[in-house]
Amino acid sequence: MCFGRSTVPEHKRNSSRCDAPTPIPANRQRWSLDSLDWQAISSNPARESETLFYLVTAASFIESTTDRYTANLIAQFRGDNEITSWLEQQWLPDEIQHGHALRRYVQIVWPNFDWDRVYISFLDEFSAHCGPGELEPTRTREMASRCVVEMGTASYYRTLSLISPDPVLATIAGQIAHDEIRHYKHFYRYFRRFQKTEPESRRSVSIALLNRLRMIDGQDSFIAMKHLYRNSHPCEPFNIRIYRNLRRRSRQLIEPHFPYRMCIQMLLKPLDLSPQVHRIALPMAETLARWVVP
Ligand SMILES: [Fe+2]
Ligand SMILES: [Fe+2]
């Protein structure tokens, strides 16, 4: 899993708003659940892969939590109508749609899995044990941090679309990857804008990038995997050894197709390195990424 996007959830700041449903305004999405050919899922080779089940279902859980942690992100940019409108009217509906599409896929392909019940147990823990992440102290740094999140999800879904034995899942993952890349471009553009009005040093931007990188494959994915594992192994305690084992299996599936170069290019972009430094840094960072990500 490659998300690391949880920030302190809104309910941690204001518990009275914990269960308030987030309104999803009309949006301008490129695709919808109705545009997908769900009938094409029949005797499905994806059904046989337990690792794929973990990857897709954990992603569906994490995407579905977006409205839980997004209010504080929007609040940080309150007053900047262009950004808050985009977050509320495009980015949030996109992310929620990602969760809905993946959930429907899981429910069709693995019909014995009770998505709603396990999601509630996941959400219970996810809400009570938020990740260590917080918003960055400045808007410029937060935009850089958001680029890392979208880099992670774009890389993840692009890989998922490549490894999927099922064309429907490949299409869903491909559409989501496309959205995540668009999100990255928006956040990067806003980052550049803030760099002009509220500049941050390269060192400071690096810290923001590293802070967010450290959250990749963090608490959100651990909690998701735990609840999925417990559902199928109700008598076994979940621990770090089991988690690492699940990760190792995921890695074996993902690694040959993971777009390391794209990932590193997206990561280095906010640092605005000179072409010479970029040329030197790229292969070094790519080598490093092969050890760290996913
Ligand atoms: Fe997403
Ligand atoms: Fe996104």
Residue, of 131 and 107, whose pLDDT is higher: 107
Distances (CA, A) of 33 to 1, 53, 56, 92: 23, 20, 16, 16
**Ligand 1 center to 12 CA (angstroms):** 22
Do the Cβ atoms of 188 and 269 come closer than 8 Å?
yes
| Predicted pLDDT of residue 276 | 77
pTM of the model: 0.87
Residue, of 213 and 141, whose pLDDT is higher: 141
Percent of the chain with pLDDT over 70: 84
* pLDDT tens-digit series, residues 63-102: 998 887 788 888 899 999 999 999 999 999 999 999 999 9
**Ligand 1 center to 166 CA (angstroms):** 20
**Ligand 2 center to 31 CA (angstroms):** 15
Burial of 73 (0-12, 13-18, 19+ CB in 10 A): buried
Percent of the chain with pLDDT over 90: 62
Pick the CATH number of 43-258 from 2.60.40, 1.20.1260, 1.25.40, 3.10.450: 1.20.1260
| Predicted pLDDT of residue 46 | 72
**Ligand 2 center to 231 CA (angstroms):** 28
Q: Dig out the tokens for 226 from the structure.
A: 């735990």
Q: What is the mean pLDDT of the chain?
A: 85
Which ligand number lies closest to the CA of residue 187?
Answer: 2
| Predicted pLDDT of residue 282 | 74
Which ligand number lies closest to the CA of residue 59?
Answer: 1
pLDDT, average across residues 181-208 = 96
Which chain residues have CB less than 5 Å from ligand 1, an ion?
95, 98
* pLDDT tens-digit series, residues 258-273: 998 898 899 889 988 8
* pLDDT tens-digit series, residues 148-165: 999 999 999 999 999 999
**Ligand 1 center to 276 CA (angstroms):** 33
Q: What pLDDT band is residue 5 in, cutting at 50, 70 and 90?
A: low
**Ligand 1 center to 95 CA (angstroms):** 4
**Ligand 2 center to 182 CA (angstroms):** 8
Q: At CB < 8 A and 24+ separation, what contacts does 286-292 make?
A: 286/260, 286/261, 289/260, 289/263, 289/264, 290/255, 290/260, 292/213
Q: Which of 9-18, 48-57, 229-238 has the lowest mean pLDDT?
A: 9-18
| Predicted pLDDT of residue 72 | 83
Name residues whose C-beta falls within 8 Å of residue 100's C-beta, 6 or more positions apart in sequence.
33, 64
**Ligand 2 center to 288 CA (angstroms):** 24
**Ligand 2 center to 108 CA (angstroms):** 24
| Predicted pLDDT of residue 27 | 59
Distances (CA, A) of 289 to 165, 198, 259, 283, 285: 26, 30, 10, 10, 6
Buried b (16+ CB within 10 A) or exposed e, 194-204: bbeeeebeeeb
**Ligand 1 center to 232 CA (angstroms):** 26
Which ligand number lies closest to the CA of residue 157?
Answer: 1
Residue, of 20 and 145, whose pLDDT is higher: 145
Residue 117 pLDDT > 50: yes
**Ligand 2 center to 290 CA (angstroms):** 23
